Chains A and B, each alone.
Chain A
Amino acid sequence: MTDNSPTPQSSSAAETGTDVVARNQGHDIPGLPPHRPRQTDIDPRAAKRAERQVALMFLASALMTVLFVIAFVQIPTTDTWPVPFFNATINASNTALGVTFGLAIFFIGAGAIQWAKKLMPDKEVVQLRHPLKSTQQERDEAAEVFWDGADESGFGQRKIIRRSLLLAMGLFPIPLVVMLRDLAPGPLDLGVLKETLWEEGSRIVTDPLERPVRPADVPIGGVVSAMPANLTEVQHEEGNLNARAKAAIILVRMAPEDIQSQQGEGWDYQGILAFSKICTHVGCPIALYQQRTHHLLCPCHQSTFDLSDSGNVVFGPAARALPQLPITVDEEGFLIARSDFDQPVGPSFWERDR
């Protein structure tokens, strides 16, 4: 780093007070006002007092550090303390450690700042700036050094070296990019984005209790989060979150005459409708159901879907209706899916409609 600040001695000339130091549009701009002494500058008792304050803060810091160690050893992490005036408790260890450590650090800072403000000289100092640009001569010399070197290297004349080097330099990062390919190993099968675990005859089970559902379990106005029964089969292999992220559905029941439309003829079962629980906007699970209006609201971005009207969007940023799952009951009387969804669930993507 080359810093051309003048040495400390050179700066006193402009310090002397109200000399005019600059002109702007014909006006004289007053110079630095005379230094006003602080109380600590003229009163030794005040200076002594400030000194004691600073030392006291440093000592307080030391004390807090000791208290921190005691708190660390003595207070178990599970202890709680009541909060006065609030009907609540706080974690005792965290509070004690935070307060002692925080004050230990803070007092060092406060002491140092007090020291600087009260006891160190507060007379302002002037240093000169220098124009940031180099002189023309320096620029010329720099250019000369560069071009001399460039000529000596022969980079300009030796075309074949230059071009082959550029080629090599242009190509060598390619492996670095190619090797990123296996961030997602195996074939790039985007088709799985369009499939879920649901298939013809998949039993609908409640989530998280994994109980099969009879139509009578879903009262009118009721709402049940559900999954396909075969989700348990993928459990524990590599976790089942990928499957969950697509298969989650929500069951609602309304009076059959309240149903204005569905995505397919007779996809309900006696007024029980099954919709994907994954928002078509950016994929949050939709959970807020308003019984009276049959509206389902996404808590993330407030997209609102009308489940009595094919799950169409009535408000918010989502662009597509929630996919509906056609359902019926099996011979034992449990709700089952009649097929997979007829479209991809969740957020849109470029290849969605291909």
Chain B
Amino acid sequence: MSATVNAGKKAATYVDDRFASANFFKRSLGKVFPDHWSFMLGEIALYSFIVILLSGTFLTFWFKPSMVEVIYDGSYAPLKGVEMSEAYASTLDISFDIRGGLLMRQIHHWAALFFVAAISVHLLRVFFTGAFRKPREFNWLIGVGLLTLALVAGFAGYSLPDDLLSGTGLRIAQGIMLSIPLVGTYLSWFVFGGEFPGTDIISRLYAVHILLVPGIILALVTAHLIMVWYQKHTQYPGPGRTNENVVGYRLMPIYMAKAGGFFFAVFGITTLVAGLVTINPIWAYGPYTPDQVTAGSQPDWYIGWLEGALRLMPNVETVIFGFTISWNIFIPAAVVPGLVFTAMALYPWFESWVTGDTKEHHILDRPRNNPTRTGIGVMALTFYILLWIGGGNDLIARFFDVSVNAITWFLRIGIFVLPPIAFVITKRICLSLQRRDREKLLHGRETGQILRLPHGEFIEIHGPISVEERAVLLSKPEVEPLALPPTEDANGVKNKKAGRNRLRSRLSNWFYGDNIPLPTPEELAAADAHLAHEIEQTTPVLDEATALRVGTPGVIADEGVLHDDPKLVAAARDAARTIEAERGENKS
């Protein structure tokens, strides 16, 4: 062992002599990260990306990005002798003749699906907890960029095998390009090297898919992580957690083991799924030809919402001065996604403008404590899901035996009606939850224990909430809508910005106007005293095992919850006594 330590020492000295790295290692290895399951979502995305890079590199050793027509002569009997592109033939070879090739292909595809899914859920987590607020706006922006690139990488990737399904996807992409006013036809002409499909697109997409897009993703992921590292991770409110500290575990050893282990877990599960569940069976679709298609053609899940937008749009096309504008394609396929991504990218600046908030935020919001933001998020999510459903309207029609026209019309109307309803409902739920939180602070939690008083009355015993919950509830940030701007200043000079600021104040009222405030310290003190009294009254009637003991005002030390192991209970009881004794000393 000491030989290893010695060797390590030597190596460390060698490196430090050249890079003065000791300080960096000292700080980095001791760095503290907060712990929460939702912080693993971004990790899943990162690890999926690494899995994609590894498996993708494998695939490049055999895949031939060429559209030269060849006659297939591999081991998949049904396609023997069929004319197809080299790209498709080499993908068949990977699937049927290269040992482990199918596994790598399926790992690659599954990991890509997980990658986008993890990014999306991570984005929702960041949005609903307000993690994008100052100082992290630019990391949000990078995140939106990464999501966009992930979609591009995914689309480019599943277009490469040149099977019937991927070719149909490319055909649709080309139709969308054509719909761009003025430049669309030329754009398509240059991208495809002439008419559709031409013989260039696969090799071009290949460069985009294996070099250009992943290169940018890699650079942005690096920037994303450096920012997380440098600005430190946000944390949820809780006991001991403030805007000025980070409470959690050190990188060395906890996160080395946990995060490192989690990479292997993600990789392992992806591989298991790839070994057990077929994805994108290109051999079943046949080679691409522009005059054939299979019914029920579906893109990968993350393109579904754009597909849905295309399906739902009414058929409007105009010819102005002899020029054709396909609104039916351009709006759903270019304008809608453009607006969605722009709105998403700019949201942090919109919110800080509306709320006038310029503070640094390192404690995450509970979604209920920002009902308007949460409402906006659920509204956007509803919009997205409706489009996504639209992308599968034919499958829904088939499985549920409803008319595809009825589904389409329902969604065409629903896309405008349902998101605002979702907003209102969400906001109301958030406000109700805020009220419940206030209730809990003022009246304690419901224990579910009913007590019959000597004179026959039944009451439910309220217990104090735990120290953790109390800390969380008391951390509710104070928010206040911006006041209306003065129309003129003290000297009677007109305020030129009054109009804009009035709008801002109104938006700010919409944002924060119906916030449920925390109880005041006086209200809370009275409530604590009341609760302590209530417990004092009820405790003698209860047996020892279920007795509630008051540790500190409003804090419960409930022995039953720890463990049934008598040794543990004893240890916990000792700990609780020590705390109480200390507290008693502090008070006196």
Chain A 1-31 per-residue mask, 1 if CB under 8 angstroms from chain B, else 0: 1011101100100100110011011111111
Q: Which of B28, B171, B269, B291 contacts A102 (CB 8 A)?
A: B269
Q: Which of A27, A103, A180, A225 contacts B518 (CB 8 A)?
A: A27
Interface size class, chain A:
35 or more
Cβ contacts under 8 Å, A39 to chain B: 563, 565, 568
Q: Which of A3, A72, A239, A302 contacts B99 (CB 8 A)?
A: A72
Cβ contacts under 8 Å, A109 to chain B: 260-268
Give the shortest distance, in Å, between B190 (CB) and chain A (any CB): 4
Find out whether the CB atom of A29 lies under 8 angstroms from the CB atom of B239.
yes
Find out whether the CB atom of A8 lies under 8 angstroms from the CB atom of B189.
no
Q: Which of B24, B28, B254, B276 contacts A99 (CB 8 A)?
A: B276
Give the shortest distance, in Å, between A276 (CB) and chain B (any CB): 10
Residue A49 at the chain B interface, CB threshold 8 Å: no
Residue B103 at the chain A interface, CB threshold 8 Å: yes
Find out whether the CB atom of A98 lies under 8 angstroms from the CB atom of B326.
no
Give the shortest distance, in Å, between A280 (CB) and chain B (any CB): 9
Find out whether the CB atom of A239 lies under 8 angstroms from the CB atom of B69.
yes
Cα-based distance from A77 to B552 in the complex (angstroms): 67
Residue B168 at the chain A interface, CB threshold 8 Å: yes
Find out whether the CB atom of A112 lies under 8 angstroms from the CB atom of B99.
no
Q: Which residue of B lies closest to A238 (CB)?
A: B199
A5-B31, A129-B245, A347-B326 known; A97+B103 contact, CB < 8 A:
yes
Cα-based distance from A152 to B99 in the complex (angstroms): 65
Find out whether the CB atom of B248 lies under 8 angstroms from the CB atom of A124.
yes
Cβ contacts under 8 Å, A171 to chain B: none
Cα-based distance from A319 to B178 in the complex (angstroms): 14
Residue A288 at the chain B interface, CB threshold 8 Å: yes
Cα-based distance from A335 to B566 in the complex (angstroms): 93
Residue A299 at the chain B interface, CB threshold 8 Å: yes
Give the shortest distance, in Å, between B393 (CB) and chain A (any CB): 7
- Count: A-B pairs, CB below 8 Å: 390
Residue A156 at the chain B interface, CB threshold 8 Å: no
Find out whether the CB atom of B264 lies under 8 angstroms from the CB atom of A112.
yes
Find out whether the CB atom of A350 lies under 8 angstroms from the CB atom of B405.
no
Cβ contacts under 8 Å, A269 to chain B: none
Cβ contacts under 8 Å, A78 to chain B: 75, 96
Find out whether the CB atom of A126 lies under 8 angstroms from the CB atom of B405.
no
Residue B32 at the chain A interface, CB threshold 8 Å: yes
Cα-based distance from A351 to B393 in the complex (angstroms): 32
Find out whether the CB atom of B178 lies under 8 angstroms from the CB atom of A242.
no
Cβ contacts under 8 Å, A230 to chain B: none
Residue B562 at the chain A interface, CB threshold 8 Å: yes
Residue A53 at the chain B interface, CB threshold 8 Å: no
Kindly specify which of B112-120, B470-478, B487-495 makes contact with the partner chain: B470-478
Cα-based distance from A94 to B567 in the complex (angstroms): 50
Find out whether the CB atom of A244 lies under 8 angstroms from the CB atom of B240.
no
Find out whether the CB atom of A29 lies under 8 angstroms from the CB atom of B475.
yes
Residue B575 at the chain A interface, CB threshold 8 Å: yes
Find out whether the CB atom of B174 lies under 8 angstroms from the CB atom of A239.
no
Q: Which of B106, B198, B229, B245 contacts A14 (CB 8 A)?
A: B245
Find out whether the CB atom of A284 lies under 8 angstroms from the CB atom of B191.
no
Find out whether the CB atom of A184 lies under 8 angstroms from the CB atom of B323.
no
A110-B261, A113-B258 known; A97+B268 contact, CB < 8 A:
no
Cβ contacts under 8 Å, B245 to chain A: 14, 21, 126-129
Give the shortest distance, in Å, between A124 (CB) and chain B (any CB): 5
Cα-based distance from A53 to B31 in the complex (angstroms): 28
Kindly specify which of A186-194, A198-206, A251-259, A326-334 makes contact with the partner chain: A186-194
Find out whether the CB atom of A94 lies under 8 angstroms from the CB atom of B240.
no
Q: Which residue of B lies closest to A114 (CB)?
A: B261
Find out whether the CB atom of B291 lies under 8 angstroms from the CB atom of A183.
no
Residue B153 at the chain A interface, CB threshold 8 Å: no
A129-B245, A282-B329 known; A27+B226 contact, CB < 8 A:
no
Most buried by A among B172, B231, B260, B325: B172
Find out whether the CB atom of A5 lies under 8 angstroms from the CB atom of B264.
no
Q: Which of B194, B314, B322 contacts A317 (CB 8 A)?
A: B314
Residue A348 at the chain B interface, CB threshold 8 Å: yes
Q: Which of A106, A227, A285 contacts B293 (CB 8 A)?
A: A285
Cα-based distance from A29 to B290 in the complex (angstroms): 66
Residue B100 at the chain A interface, CB threshold 8 Å: yes
Cβ contacts under 8 Å, B275 to chain A: 94-99, 101-102
A287-B292, A302-B393 known; A127+B26 contact, CB < 8 A:
no
> Mind listing 26 A-B residue pairs with CB under 8 Å?
A18-B555, A24-B476, A25-B518, A31-B239, A36-B562, A78-B96, A94-B106, A95-B276, A98-B103, A101-B271, A105-B268, A109-B264, A115-B261, A120-B254, A121-B254, A126-B247, A128-B245, A225-B291, A238-B199, A245-B290, A248-B290, A283-B175, A300-B293, A313-B315, A317-B315, A349-B188
Besides the contacts A1-B24, A3-B31, A300-B293, what 13 more A-B pairs have beta carbons closer than 8 Å?
A24-B474, A27-B474, A30-B470, A98-B276, A102-B269, A103-B272, A109-B268, A128-B245, A239-B67, A282-B179, A285-B292, A347-B179, A354-B323
Which 9 A-B residue pairs are closest in the complex by CB-CB distance? A98-B275, A106-B268, A282-B175, A112-B261, A109-B264, A32-B240, A102-B272, A109-B265, A102-B271
